[in-house]
Amino acid sequence: MTFIFVILAILVIAGAAMLITGRFAPSVGIENTGDHILESAGFDVTLRGYRMDEVDQRIAELEGRITELEANPQR
């Protein structure tokens, strides 16, 4: 009997985790959900937001592009 309660507890905890992370939420489209922003950013989404290494890499790429554009202005 204890085994059944342990399995049930694991399922409840896993379900709550999936619900919190949004992996179990019903699909409601992109209106007012912000999904379109997440898709266009191109970052993997984690429990607390984006992966920081991906964000840091993207910032470095953009800083390099800004430096390049400032060095070679096209007027």
Distance, in Å, from the CA atom of 22 to the CA atom of 1, rounded to the nearest integer, reads 32
The reply to whether 10 and 34 lie within a common domain is yes
More confident residue, 72 or 39: 72
pLDDT at position 30 is 46
d(CA 32, CA 1): 45
- 33 and 47 both lie in a single domain: no
pTM of the model: 0.42
pLDDT digits (tens, 9 = 90+) for 25-71: 555 444 444 544 545 567 777 777 778 888 899 999 999 999 999 99
Q: Which residues span the domain enclosing 10? A: 1-41
Shared-domain flag, residues 10 and 46:
no
How far lies 63's CA from each of 5, 17, 22, 56, 68, in Å? 54, 36, 32, 10, 9
pLDDT of residue 21: 74
